[in-house]
């Protein structure tokens, strides 16, 4: 996926490895898709570059098990950084990638996914756009790391 093959008007399309090159440290909206066009996640960031890098890292150490919890119960696991990491972890396997491992999630995101993003004037504008897209039901992975926001 290159930006040249992605023509979505105000949206720019990139691979996860291209974040530093193309994504500014500004507020915005992002959408994550599999190469076959299946929607995975819509989200926002005050600093879009930082947010997308957090998703790309998909760190196992940032998945936190509740005291006395069970790693097989999504309600017992929270993400301290990337809710996408938690969603992928509980998806188990997609396209032959073991998403229960950090390396599997990272490889899946780089090799089988792309990002569409757009810069917005504010977090509020991005959140309004995100709500519209979430309401459409196309994105199975929803939620936020900091629900109080």
Helix axes 83-91 and 102-112, enclosed angle (nearest 10): 100
Complete DSSP assignment for 63-84 = EEEPTT--TT-GGGEEESS-HH
Q: What's the CA gap between 31 and 52, in Å, rounded?
A: 10
Angle at 24 between CA 137 and CA 86, to 5 degrees: 40
The CB density around residue 92, as the number of other CB atoms within 10 Å, is: 11
Query: 65-94: per-residue pLDDT in tens?
Result: 999 999 999 999 988 888 889 999 999 899
Q: Taking the domains of the chain in order of start, what are their residue ranges?
A: 3-135
Model confidence, pTM: 0.86
Query: 17-54: per-residue pLDDT in tens?
Result: 999 999 999 999 999 999 999 999 999 999 999 999 99
């Amino acid at each position: 996926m290159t930006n040249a093959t992605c023509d979505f008007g105000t949206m720019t399309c990139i691979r996860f490895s291209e974040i530093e090159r193309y994504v500014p440290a500004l507020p915005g909206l992002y959408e994550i898709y599999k190469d076959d066009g299946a929607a995975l996640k819509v989200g926002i960031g005050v600093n879009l570059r930082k947010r997308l890098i957090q998703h790309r890292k998909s760190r196992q150490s940032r998945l936190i098990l509740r005291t006395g919890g069970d790693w097989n119960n999504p309600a017992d696991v929270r993400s301290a950084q990337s809710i996408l990491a938690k969603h992928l972890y509980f998806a188990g396997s997609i396209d032959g990638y073991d998403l229960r491992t950090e390396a599997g999630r990272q490889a899946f995101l780089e090799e089988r996914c792309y990002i569409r993003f757009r810069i917005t004037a504010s977090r509020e504008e991005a959140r309004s756009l995100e709500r519209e897209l979430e309401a459409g039901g196309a994105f199975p992975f929803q939620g936020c790391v900091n629900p109080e926001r």
